[in-house]
Amino acid sequence: MVTFNHSDGGTPEKAWQAAHLPVRFNSLGLDALERLIVVSAHPDDESLGVGGLIAHVAGLGLPIIVIVLSNGEASHPNSPTHDPARLAQLRRIEVTDALAHLAPNALVHLLELPDGKLTENVDIAEGAIAEAIGDAGDSTWVVAPWRADGHPDHAAASSAAERAVRTHRARLFEYPIWAWHWSTPDDAVWSAETVRVFDLKPVERAAKAQALALHRSQVRPLSESPGDEAIVPASFRAHFARDYETLIEVRVRPEPPADAHADPQQSLAAGYFDTVYSSGPDPWGFETRWYEKRKRSALLAALPRQRFGAALELGCSTGVLTAELADRCDTVLGIDLVEQPLGIARQRLVGWPGVSFERRTLPADWPEGEFELIVLSEVGYYCSAADLRRVLEQCRASLAPGGALVACHWRHPVADYPLTGDAVHAQLTHVVGLQRTVRHLERDFVLEVYEQRPALSVAQRDGLVP
């Protein structure tokens, strides 16, 4: 819960200037840095906290990835002129413009998690950060909002970053934002030995100032009406016009990999599934568990159209979902890695027009043709990170105009699987040209639909709204 308000007076910048923080704390050197990953809870966090650092690293020609967890749509909860959808639209544009100014070659990932509810979505954020880190090691630096900043979304972003660094080796730093407002130079939070200051050149300070100015919905009033006041007024921006930025290094002890855990760089092979199916024809309980029946119903309900032409189901297994897709599609091609479940699937749908099954190894043996519907259900986490990227790119390339990609995955970790379901869905956000139109998140599974940009809503397709 936030215990401060942006409209409060807060600690004036002159108090921080009098504290001479660059004298109190050691400088941060970048000699060991080869790649920078910036995590932002809301659009503008990155520009406020480390805009100068981003500009400096961009000037060095080093790769930069910026992960923006939410659209910041809750910034003006009492606005009479801008609803959350409009604010989200504005802030997406603002953050991409600001980052294009700071670091034109940076990769920007907008996760679009709900503003104010990042504590409920730490797993998804962790998956995106871990995917960005990969296996680069300590030469990759992750900078995220400070855990002690007093904002629950900032704490959640910190938690996601720490968890990702714990399992994927990297150095972790955190940057304060609201702490300059509610704390004072004498507070115990500033006594940490790990506080560092990073000196900014005049050109970097100017780039940061311009980036902040591009966050117009935050630094200017939305209108003259009450509730539309600037969230980042001039008195607060003064904290970020300094000739230095402040970061706190977080010492994270890497989590030793479990001996039984799968290699994240290696997709599961056919032999693994041969062993699974040797236990019986329905090892996951597709036909008997209410969990599976309910999940299939949710997936079918999420489809944005009543009927599709050609459909492709990846990892069709024994064809239980295939049978239900066949009622909604002209043709369905189900593919799987091993023959045993395909035999059961063929028997289940024998004589069903338009339904076929093929044994294929993905991503190498991708089927030809275009599909109006591609279903990626409970299969992405069997892939290595590299193979998953190829599969998702092949999905995008094979979508017919107006097509939809639906993905659904178990969220609990499984030691045998190279990836988690959340990591799979984090990677989906990186697929160029696709727009998420449906997102259903539960403790057990995540279900999403992606369509080609610009996508119409179901109500628009039915003529209910313009």
- Write down how long the chain is: 466
SS3 405: strand
Assign residue 76 a region: left if phi > 0, alpha if psi is -120 to 50, beta otherwise? beta
What's the confidence (pLDDT) of residue 260? 45
Q: Before 114, cis peptide (omega within 30)?
A: no
Contact 111, 70 (CB under 8 A): yes
Q: For residue 6, what pLDDT is reported? A: 56
pLDDT at 1: 44
How far apart CA 318 and CA 209 sit, in angstroms, is: 58
Report DSSP state, residue 120.
Answer: G
Fold classification of 270-461 (topology level)? Rossmann fold (3.40.50)
Judge if pTM exceeds 0.75: no
pLDDT number for residue 124: 92
Q: Return the closest-CA partner of residue 106 out of 211, 247, 243.
A: 211
What pLDDT score does 259 carry? Answer: 43
Q: What is the model's pLDDT at position 255?
A: 60
Q: What is the CATH number of domain 13-250?
A: 3.40.50.10320
Neighbours of 326 (CB within 10 A): 20
Are 329 and 310 a contacting pair, CB within 8 Å? yes
pLDDT digits (tens, 9 = 90+) for 280-291: 788 888 998 999
Question: Hey, do 13-250 and 270-461 end up sharing a CATH topology, with the first three levels equal?
Answer: yes
Where do we find the tokens 């992606």?
A: 450
Buried b / exposed e over 415-436, threshold 16 CB at 10 Å, is: eebbbbbbbbbbbbbbbeebeb
Q: Are 402 and 408 in contact (CB under 8 A)?
A: no
Q: Residue 401: is the preceding peptide bond cis (ω within 30°)? A: no
Tens-digit pLDDT profile for residues 183-222: 999 988 887 778 999 999 999 999 999 999 999 999 999 9
Helix or strand or coil: residue 154?
helix
Q: What is the pLDDT of residue 66?
A: 97
Which tokens belong to 284?
């996951």
Residues forming a β-bridge with 311: 332, 373
Domains of the chain, by residue range, sit at 13-250, 270-461
Among left, alpha and beta (phi > 0; psi -120 to 50; other), residue 227 is: left
Block residue for tokens 């990227």: 389
For β-strands 445-452 and 171-175, DSSP reports them as: unpaired
What is d(CA 245, CA 247) in angstroms, rounded to the nearest whole number?
7
Regions in the chain scoring below 70 on pLDDT: 1-8, 254-262
Please name which of 439, 363, 454 lies closest in space to residue 408, comparing C-alpha atoms.
439
